[in-house]
Amino acid sequence: MLSFSTMLIFLAAALALTATPGPDMLLIASSSVSQGKRAGFATLAGIMAGTYCHALAAALGLSQLLLRLPFAFDLLRFAGAAYLLYLAWKTFRSKATAFSPNASMPKISAKQAFLRGLLTNLFNPKMMLFVLALFPQFVKPAAGAVAVQIMLLATVLNLIGLMVNGVVIFAAGKLSSLRSDRPSPWPQYFLSLVFAGLGARLMML
């Protein structure tokens, strides 16, 4: 098993990574504002599941294989960008006058929010690169099975993410609960901009 000192260093690195605003936090916050805390936690659950998938791929060597095949890597990158741009267009073209839990627009299901978080994470090659770059620094072959150590690190990263993003979800959920006599379409446009921005980031990697 990993030593206590090694785990403490990884905890510090995971906390620094998770607490720094980035695409995942922005997606979680925008989902919480536009659809409520339930959707926020479902999105977070999807992202956490995606982290486990990347960790498992790293443990099995699949991620390194993708890195050695530029065509496969680019295919993954552009597929993720296309998916995010599709979400941006779909959100922007919504017929609802407002994109909030209090508007007449039907809320997305927890399953839809989960899949949105999962696919966004899976199609993000930067997450794959992060797992490959960071995790090996804390894995010690002499400490036991490498795959078990990698999955343990992924669990620690997800637990830190749950605590940090849980605060974000509750704070954003408060905003979504504020009622307005004149519903505004701006939350809908903001979420669309988030998806478009994330898609653009993937295309420019």
Q: Does 81 have pLDDT greater than 70? A: yes
Tokens of 126: 């930067």
Which amino acid is it at 202?
A: L
Helix axes 70-92, 110-122, angle to 10 degrees: 150
Q: So what's the pLDDT on residue 191? A: 63
Report how many domains make up the chain: 1
Which amino acid is it at 70?
A: P
| Higher pLDDT, residue 117 or 81 | 117
For residue 31, give the nearest of 202, 163, 187 by alpha carbon: 187
State the residue for tokens 């898609």.
199
| CA–CA gap between residue 64 and residue 128 (Å, rounded) | 9
Q: So what's the pLDDT on residue 5? A: 79
Which amino acid is it at 138?
A: F
Q: So what's the pLDDT on residue 196? A: 78
| Higher pLDDT, residue 198 or 81 | 81
pLDDT tens column, 162-199: 999 999 999 887 766 654 445 556 656 666 776 677 67
Highest-confidence segment of 6-10, 25-29, 104-108, 156-160? 156-160
| Higher pLDDT, residue 63 or 70 | 70
Q: Judge contact between 75 and 192, C-beta under 8 A.
A: no
Q: Report DSSP state, residue 182.
A: S
| CA–CA gap between residue 137 and residue 144 (Å, rounded) | 15
Highest-confidence segment of 64-68, 76-80, 170-174? 170-174
Q: So what's the pLDDT on residue 187? A: 58
The residues, ordered by sequence, that sit 6+ positions from 142 with a Cβ below 8 Å of its Cβ are none
Q: So what's the pLDDT on residue 156? A: 92
pLDDT tens column, 39-56: 999 999 999 999 999 999
| CA–CA gap between residue 88 and residue 152 (Å, rounded) | 34
Q: So what's the pLDDT on residue 103? A: 45
What is the average pLDDT across 25-31? 85
Can you give the residue range of the structural domain that contains 196? 4-203
pLDDT tens column, 96-143: 433 444 444 457 789 999 998 998 888 776 677 777 767 777 877 777
Q: So what's the pLDDT on residue 95? A: 52
Q: Judge contact between 176 and 100, C-beta under 8 A.
A: yes
| Higher pLDDT, residue 71 or 38 | 38
Q: So what's the pLDDT on residue 76? A: 63
